[in-house]
Structure 1
Amino acid sequence: MMDKAIVVGVDGSQAAKAALAWAADDAVRTGLPLRIVHVREPWRRETEPTASNVRETMAEWHMLLLGESAEQARAFAPAAQVSTALATGAVVQRLKTEAETAATLVVGGKGHGRLPTFAIGSVTAELAGHTASPLVVVRTFTMEQRGEIVIGYDGSPDADAAMAFALEQARFRAARIRVLHGSRYPALAPHPVGYGPVPMGETNELAGRLALWREKSPHVEMVETIVPGSAVSALVEASRTADLVVVGSRGRGGFASAVLGSVSHSVVRRARCAVAVVSAARPDDPNRADDPHR
């Protein structure tokens, strides 16, 4: 992983600046280089300016944005190794390409209007669950460290990939892990009142899987909470006092949905802290997250 970088997408918005600060802070914690990427969408024929000075002005603006972002990152994290890249193309595809060789891809929760935007429901929704690296979505950033990382866990492959990422973050932050899990009813199906008790077999299976994760990272404190209510509400409420919320992009129901757009999407949209969305890699991917059960 040491040859990989923390990659952050910038567009000049306040959310992108928060994402830049988060990424710079993470680069310092992990000792990884920071790569700042700005995607310039190509002119469409009907909108391409005819005056050369307009094109030159826009080109200067793109480079200025990258330069200012690099200066901000170095001021915030002088020890970080910072590089910049100006990419041309469709925003989503270019960032997916960046994620293929990144340790983590970081974006802001909402971007500028007509500029390439990271608004929830557009670029972020298209990226979440579809990147080779974990995707971290940031709307605000604070230096305050609360010492807790929250993860929604249901034992699915994506949840295990999310757990691996959460434990890595916990080690770098000297934080504890709070594991939230509940019944495996589909996110959009009718639920018994209060969800009812978690089935004993399911509880035992999750307890066994979490015990293996504890053995793998004995120095990270891990506490569990079984949630009888809404998965989204529980994760959002826990985000109020957390440094990071981590969710798998898909799961068995309860804490993840068959497609991003239910629980994971709602948590990204409503959480009060940064949210990491993690997908399990393909079995033949050498960079997949460790699973202690293999």
Structure 2
Amino acid sequence: MVRPIVVGVDGSTPAHAAVEWAAADARRRRLPLRIVHVCEQWQDNVNGMKYCAGMLQAAADRARATGDDLEVNTEFLDGNVVERLVGQSVSSQSVVLGSRGLGGFAGLVIGSVSLAVAGRAEGPVVVVRAATTVPVHSLIVVGDDGSGAAREAMLYAIEQARARSARVLAVYAWRQPVLSAYGRDYADLFTDSFGEECRAARERVDAWRNEFAGVEITGRQVNEHPVAALADASAAADLVVVGSRGRGGFTSAALGSVSHGLLHHAVCPVAVVRPRSGRAETTGQ
């Protein structure tokens, strides 16, 4: 069975951008597109179903307008928005969402639904902001810290790169702790540790390059906070991919600090990748 790309819509401007991104991704990867809307409870004097039907049809028209060679279907869902979208992730290639819905505060960069789904869904969740005219960079940036979740992120980044004929840049970032006068004796130890981590990161890139010879893969190792390093790289990327939690994360946390921060600060769309059921997640980004 071919897994579709699922995009959740609510009529908001970021949702329009998500539909366009999902339609382009589905076409590149030759996958069907499923557009879903979770209907909320309306008051008796409001014809909510009529509004939802019109909004869902408009989203389907927007997707079909991007090209004739795209299989598009739509689906109404009811119940809790987050629960239903997480449920959709089980049988989909990925879930695509706008950064904020109609119910969010206008000043927020990322909404609660997008954060919750990114932290709980199986597989990739792509969060897209409002549509803007941007150049195509032919570059996918992926965060790499050597964790199991980072490996899942790399595999998705390579899938995207193949579909786009793009390059992959694996970024390893580590910020040295600020040391007080009492801790300066440890400075050399931290420097040595960073050097070892960088060597390990370069070896991982070499291994990926050997395994996927058809994709151009390069690495970058920086002494910088991972959120800042990845956000900076996002300015010249078409997509940034991270695991859901990194090596430094708490195992009980649904979404790690790096992925959470990147959703707020990245310039381009962000894919947060969680392992699917039955695939062990060591520690993720």
Aligned to 1:78: 68
Aligned to 2:233: 238
Dislocated runs of 4+, deviation >6 Å: none
The TM-score normalised by the length of structure 2 is 0.86
The 5 A counterparts of 1:50-89 are 51=45, 54=46, 57-89=47-79
2:218 maps to which of 198, 218, 223: 223
Check conservation: 2:39, 2:49, Cα contact below 8 A: no
For residues 113-166 of structure 1, the C-alpha deviation after alignment (integer angstroms, 9 at most, x for no partner) is: 279xx9725111111131112000000344732110111100101000000000
Change (3 A) 1:230 1:119: closer
Q: Secondary structure of 2:116's match?
A: helix
After the TM superposition, which of the residue ranges 24-33 and 229-238 deviates more from structure 2? Answer: 229-238
Aligned to 1:152: 143
The TM-score normalised by the length of structure 1 is 0.83
Aligned to 2:41: 42
Change (3 A) 1:114 1:164: closer
Counterpart-to-counterpart distance in 2, 1:22 and 1:192: 44
Counterpart-to-counterpart distance in 2, 1:228 and 1:208: 18
2:153 maps to which of 158, 162, 187: 162
The 5 A counterparts of 1:144-293 are 144-183=135-174, 190-191=177-178, 196=191, 198-253=193-248, 259=253, 260=255, 262-282=257-277, 284-285=278-279
Check conservation: 1:197, 1:228, Cα contact below 8 A: no
Aligned residue identity for 2:258: V
Answer yes or no: is 1:132 the counterpart of 2:131.
Answer: no
Change (3 A) 1:220 1:192: farther
The 5 A counterparts of 1:84-123 are 84-113=74-103, 120-123=110-113
Aligned to 1:33: 32
RMSD of Structure 2 on Structure 1 (CA): 2.5
For residues 85-124 of structure 1, the C-alpha deviation after alignment (integer angstroms, 9 at most, x for no partner) is: 0101100000011111000100000111279xx9725111
Aligned length: 268
For residues 199-233 of structure 1, the C-alpha deviation after alignment (integer angstroms, 9 at most, x for no partner) is: 34333333333222212211111111111112111
Check conservation: 1:257, 1:263, Cα contact below 8 A: no
Aligned residue identity for 2:153: A
For residues 19-38 of structure 1, the C-alpha deviation after alignment (integer angstroms, 9 at most, x for no partner) is: 00000000100000000001
| Percent identity for Structure 1 against Structure 2 | 42
Aligned to 1:292: none
Change (3 A) 1:177 1:192: farther
Check conservation: 2:140, 2:241, Cα contact below 8 A: yes
Check conservation: 1:138, 1:275, Cα contact below 8 A: yes
Q: Secondary structure of 1:159's match?
A: helix
Counterpart-to-counterpart distance in 2, 1:198 and 1:181: 14
Counterpart-to-counterpart distance in 2, 1:239 and 1:64: 35
Q: Secondary structure of 1:128's match?
A: helix
Change (3 A) 1:35 1:61: same
Structure 1 unaligned residues grouped into runs of 5+: 290-294
Check conservation: 2:198, 2:221, Cα contact below 8 A: no
Aligned residue identity for 1:140: A
Change (3 A) 1:60 1:220: same
Counterpart-to-counterpart distance in 2, 1:89 and 1:153: 36
Q: Secondary structure of 1:32's match?
A: coil
